[in-house]
Structure 1
């Protein structure tokens, strides 16, 4: 048994580190959501921010857009040209995806400064791409409502998770300690 632990030490270290970081960040995020009172920023600050930035970008692109607190659930209603188009929920704010991204990068850590800067840059990139994803999805839903299920469940999740996967590949191949060990 000891030989197996020694042989797979790096794999076990990766799995345990990933799970620990993911659990800590997810718990922190869960507490953040529980303690968000929603009085100033409904339903929570990050979801509210994403909704407002989506509204601003869509207005910039010439759409008459408005986001309003949903009266029956913790979400923001996205109104396009006076018509209810979609809702922006907590899952749309990219925080869960960023937590997944950070957990993987930390599990394959590199130098502290490099790891921190990559996490910061990658998290900002994930956030921006997610925001653009919501904007383009909204435009797609507006012009092609018959493809709403396909756009929402296949195309746009594929974009955000595909980008995170590419960031992981870049991290492992260019910056992590694994690269240095194999060199």
Structure 2
């Protein structure tokens, strides 16, 4: 047993760092979310900001859009050309994806400055791409409502998780402690 612990120590340390950082960040995010009363259909501030920025981006792309509080559930209604096309919920704000990204970066850490820079830059990129993603989903749902599952459930998650995967590959190959050992 000890032989296996020694042999797989780097992998076990990676898993420990990943799950521990993921659990801590998720716990802190949950504390933040618990400040909002979903029984009264409150929407957290980050989700509201994401909805507003997505609405502004949709308008920038040339499609008049508006948002409104949803009085029947914890979400923000999204309208394109006065047509209700989507609802922005807490899961749309990309914080869970950013937490996953950060946990992986922490687990595969390199030098502290590079790690912090990569966390900051990667998180901002994910956030901005998510704003664009919501804007494009809203436009696509306005134009092609019959393809909602394909648009929302397949294409756009593939894009956002694809970007996160590419960021992880860059991290592992350029910035992690394992990359510096290989060079």
Q: Same fold (TM over 0.5)?
A: yes
Contact 1:65–1:78, Cα closer than 8 Å, also in 2: yes
1:1-183 pair list within 5 angstroms: 1-36=1-36, 42-183=42-183
Helix, strand or coil at the partner of 1:43: coil
In structure 1, list runs of 5 or more residues that go unmatched. Answer: none
Contact 1:36–1:45, Cα closer than 8 Å, also in 2: no
Q: Distance in 1 between matches of 2:55 and 2:154?
A: 23
Contact 2:53–2:131, Cα closer than 8 Å, also in 1: yes
Cα shift at 1:2 = 0.7
Helix, strand or coil at the partner of 1:78: strand
Q: Distance in 2 between matches of 1:160 and 1:182?
A: 29
Greater relative contact order (CA < 8 Å, ≥ 6 in sequence): 2
In structure 2, list runs of 5 or more residues that go unmatched. Answer: none
Task: Normalising by structure 1, report the TM-score.
Answer: 0.95
Cα shift at 1:37 = 5.7
Task: Normalising by structure 2, report the TM-score.
Answer: 0.95
Q: Distance in 2 between matches of 1:20 and 1:168?
A: 18
